[in-house]
Amino acid sequence: MSDLATEIHQAVPAAELIDGKAFAAQLRGEVAEGAAGFSRDTGRQPGLAVVLVGNDPASQVYVRTKMRQAAEVGIASFPHLLDANTGEAELLALIDSLNHDDSVDGILVQLPLPAGISEAAVIEAIAPAKDVDGFHPYNVGRLSAGQPVMVPCTPLGCLLLLQDRLGDLSGLKAVVVGRSNIVGKPMAQLLLNANCTVTTVHSRSRNMAEECRQADILVVAVGRPGLVGVEHIKPGATVLDVGINRVEDEQGQSRLVGDVDFAAASRVAGALTPVPGGIGPMTVACLLRNTLTAARQRTR
């Protein structure tokens, strides 16, 4: 490196780490207080039904984490762990019974579902008032109309972290990488509702790096390790890495990485979420928050 390059390199501070784990713990504390108040007022805990079909190992971990953290904040969880060859009709019948069960405030059906079960049919069967994932078309429509709504957990977690760090997001340029129904689309909608100028890029986009480099806020949710590097990041940008990818390192050890090349990005970004310990914990905390919200709204 030349003397000048060394000087510039040293002058650029490493990106600030956005501690989603700590923020999520604080959020869970607030939910615990709210859940205790709800229990005092109503004589019952808020209730979350957790439905998992099949044996996908990652889904099993997520579902266990959701139920353990629910218990820790005083939310009752009702697990329904179904065999991999459960049929769609059986799953729809279960959802119908949960819709009519007064002790259930929220229904979470872990995705993806096994082939042969229509995710759209299952999501549409959930009563919108109990749709703590915010995936039902009724809630998707309300979000796009800017009305109060059950907001999908991962994008909500991202928004809370952004507002905590940046305050009012009005006028900022936001680029969302990925267009899934779970993260990319609702994230773009939330950022638009928060008055950002929003672009979504995806696998068919031209000039992805160029688009990303315009972003004050870059949210990456694709599921491809190392997809985003220095060439995608405007110096000083706030970068949220939603990807959770299991990879093997050179020693054959398995570890989790995001979609962003962390070492490279931390030299350019102003702030960056780590994987693990960034967005993941926020998703679960927001699910608990949505469950408390649903419980309060149902008993009003």
Interface residues with ligand GUN (CB under 6 A) are: 108-111, 133, 153-154, 182, 283
Nearest distance, CB of residue 195 and ligand GUN, angstroms: 25
77 annotated ligand binder: no
Catalytic: 66? yes
Nearest distance, CB of residue 135 and ligand GUN, angstroms: 7
Choice between 91 and 109, CB closer to ligand GUN: 109
Q: How far apart are CA 193 and CA 186, in angstroms?
A: 10
Choice between 200 and 283, CB closer to ligand GUN: 283
Which one of the listed residues 105, 110, 131, 241 is annotated catalytic?
Answer: 110
Choice between 27 and 237, CB closer to ligand GUN: 27
Choice between 70 and 108, CB closer to ligand GUN: 108
179 annotated ligand binder: yes
Nearest distance, CB of residue 9 and ligand GUN, angstroms: 38
Q: How far apart are CA 213 and CA 109, in angstroms?
A: 36
Catalytic: 110? yes
233 annotated ligand binder: no
Catalytic: 133? yes
Which one of the listed residues 105, 131, 133, 216 is annotated catalytic?
Answer: 133
Nearest distance, CB of residue 298 and ligand GUN, angstroms: 19
180 annotated ligand binder: yes
Residue nearest to ligand GUN (CB): 111
**Residue 64 Cα to chain centre, angstroms:** 17
In b/e form, how buried is each residue of 57-76, taking b as 16+ CB within 10 angstroms?
eebeebbeebbebbeebbbb
Nearest distance, CB of residue 57 and ligand GUN, angstroms: 13
Choice between 59 and 199, CB closer to ligand GUN: 59
Annotated binding site: 178-180, 244
Active-site positions? Answer: 66, 110, 133
Annotated binding site for NADP(+): 178-180, 244
